[in-house]
Amino acid sequence: MSRPATLRRAADLAAAGLIHPARLSEIERVAEVYAVAVTPAVASLMDPGDADDPIGRQYLPSAAELITAPEELSDPIGDLTHSPVRGIVHRYPDRVLLTPLLVCPVYCRFCFRRARVGDAAATLSPAELEAALAYVASRPEVREVVVTGGDPLMLPPPRIKSLLDRLAAIPHLELVRFHSRVPVADPERVSPALAAALRPPDRADLAVWVAVHVNHPRELSAPARAALARLADAGIPLLSQTVLLKGVNDRVEVLEELMRALVRNRVRPYYLHHPDLAPGTSHFRPSIAEGRALMRALRGRLSGIAQPTYVLDIPGGAGKVPVGPDYWDEAHSLITDPGGTRHSY
């Protein structure tokens, strides 16, 4: 039996009751610029009657995307500046990004690669993949490859296994990390065959991790939880990445619920990203001061295992840095506890 189709056009969204028909022309204008895709799994989580629905806000296009703020950049984190060969981004000495494809199961409206994702023709050819792997193999300082995209778990399991086998043949690699939205956005794709393909090849000193992008506790549906369990039961360590988004998760109660749910599902919270300066995304960005206040509130509510690191990816490709709250006052040798009381030390 065929799977339900992903919604890719404004008319599809209207027919599914996710947008009002009066918004068709607005959504069509956005779709001409930025790719649209909403899987049935994600559509089932939405509340079309709620104009502020945090799931719909992440995935349904809006006219606000066509407004580019002066500070926004076409390449906000320097992907193109730091790409020595097609498919490779090398911003840090010890690790590289490998982007074998630029398609995703869904297209998030805040994506920092939003002008590039959705291009099926951008999938690396066999020759381009060979050149990318040769680049990694020729640089012994590279210890880690982050396989991203697009979404690398859109690749069929045999291609994932083949890619891992090729990476395992590079002796100086210690870690391969896959970044994916698939377990949340298209959980049925996380089949036993895909989980098996992600198991580390027969090389004791090479680890394989998966970082899952989750922004709201409602995204951890029963099918998503089952997909995460298939990966965890296969012995694959799981991390989470979350983007701090206005109107989605910019309340401490939502972030607390999300981080607790991730830990329950054997996913270690990793990064809480401040949104990048991608064009047309200003309506998603809280201030860094608001983010710091949220992180300070989380510190008193959650154990250390459930605390993500709040990070800013410096525009232009200078790298990620923590921007969380400060607790140590160097000038006065004072330390602030989670409740806000200052103590001498």
Domain of residue 118, CATH code: 3.20.20.70
336: in domain: no
175: in domain: yes
255: in domain: yes
Q: Tens digits of per-residue pLDDT, 39-83?
A: 999 999 999 999 999 999 999 999 999 999 999 999 999 999 999
Note whether 190 and 39 are within 8 A (CB): no
Q: Tens digits of per-residue pLDDT, 8-49?
A: 999 999 999 999 999 999 999 999 999 999 999 999 999 999
Q: How far apart are CA 101 and CA 117, in angstroms?
A: 9
Mean pLDDT of the residues in the chain: 96
Task: Flag whether pLDDT at 105 surpasses 70.
Answer: yes
145: in domain: yes
12: in domain: no
Q: Which domain holds residue 108?
A: 69-319
- Whole-number pLDDT of residue 104: 97
Task: State how many domains the chain has.
Answer: 1
79: in domain: yes
Least confident residue range of 3-7, 166-170, 264-268, 295-299: 3-7
Q: What is the CA radius of gyration of the chain?
A: 20
- Whole-number pLDDT of residue 114: 87
- Whole-number pLDDT of residue 287: 98
Residues with a catalytic annotation lie at 91-92, 95, 104, 108, 111, 113, 276, 313, 320
Note whether 210 and 182 are within 8 A (CB): no
Mean pLDDT of 223-250: 98
- Report residue 147's pLDDT band, with 50, 70 and 90 as the boundaries: very high
C-alpha distance across the termini of the chain, in Å: 66
- Please state whether beta strands 319-322 and 207-213 pair in parallel, antiparallel, or not at all (unpaired): unpaired
Q: Evaluate the omega torsion of the peptide bond into residue 150 and state whether it is cis, within 30 degrees of 0.
A: yes
- Whole-number pLDDT of residue 1: 59
Contacts of 114 (CB under 8 A, 6+ apart): 34, 35, 107, 108, 278, 279, 280, 281
Task: Flag whether pLDDT at 2 surpasses 80.
Answer: no
The 3-state secondary structure of the chain reads CCCCCCECCHHHHHHCCCCCHHHHHHHHHHHCCCCCCECHHHHCCCCCCCCCCHHHHHHCCCHHHHCCCCCCCCCCCCCCCCCCCCCEEEEECCEEEECCCCCCCCCCCCCCCCCCCCCHHHCCCHHHHHHHHHHHHCCCCCCEEEECCCCHHHCCHHHHHHHHHHHHCCCCCCEEEEEECHHHHCHHHCCHHHHHHCCCCCCCCCEEEEEEECCCHHHCCHHHHHHHHHHHHCCCCEEEEEECCCCCCCCHHHHHHHHHHHHHCCEEEEEEECCCCCCCCHHHCCCHHHHHHHHHHHHCCCCHHHCCEEEEEECCCCEEEECCCCCEECCCCEEECCCCCEEEC
Residue type, 79: D
Q: Tens digits of per-residue pLDDT, 304-329?
A: 999 999 999 999 999 999 999 999 99
53: in domain: no
Q: Percentage of the chain surpassing pLDDT 70?
A: 99
> How far, in whole angstroms, is CA 22 from its chain's centroid?
31
- Report residue 3's pLDDT band, with 50, 70 and 90 as the boundaries: confident
Note whether 198 and 210 are within 8 A (CB): yes
26: in domain: no
C-alpha distances (whole Å) from 28 to each of 21, 33, 258 are 11, 9, 33
- Please state whether beta strands 328-329 and 334-336 pair in parallel, antiparallel, or not at all (unpaired): antiparallel
Q: Tens digits of per-residue pLDDT, 164-221?
A: 999 999 999 999 999 999 999 999 999 999 999 999 888 889 999 999 999 999 999 9
Any bridge partners for residue 176, and if so which? 145, 208
CB neighbours (10 Å) of residue 224? Answer: 24
